[in-house]
Amino acid sequence: MHITLLRSYRATLIPKNLDRSEVHGLASDGKLPTIQLKASSADRAQAAAHHTTGLAVLCVDRVGGGE
């Protein structure tokens, strides 16, 4: 049996109708939508965020402390 540790991640999403030239400015101002989820890696969190929301994912950040 293999147990996979899940970690908490926050995915920053890009709304469908947002002009691409506005993405980084809105992201730096903290004005893009986010979701939090648990996954075994950042790559899996990114895939899960896209699958769940149907939106493009700008970035995924690990939240919480420790291992």
- Boundaries of every domain in the chain: 7-62
* HSE value, Cβ hemisphere, 13 Å, CA-based, for 63: 13
Please determine, for residue 6, whether its predicted confidence score (pLDDT) is greater than 60: yes
* pLDDT tens-digit series, residues 11-46: 999 999 999 899 999 999 999 999 999 999 999 999
Mean pLDDT of all residues in 61-66: 82
Cα Rg of the chain (Å, integer): 13
Model confidence, pTM? 0.87
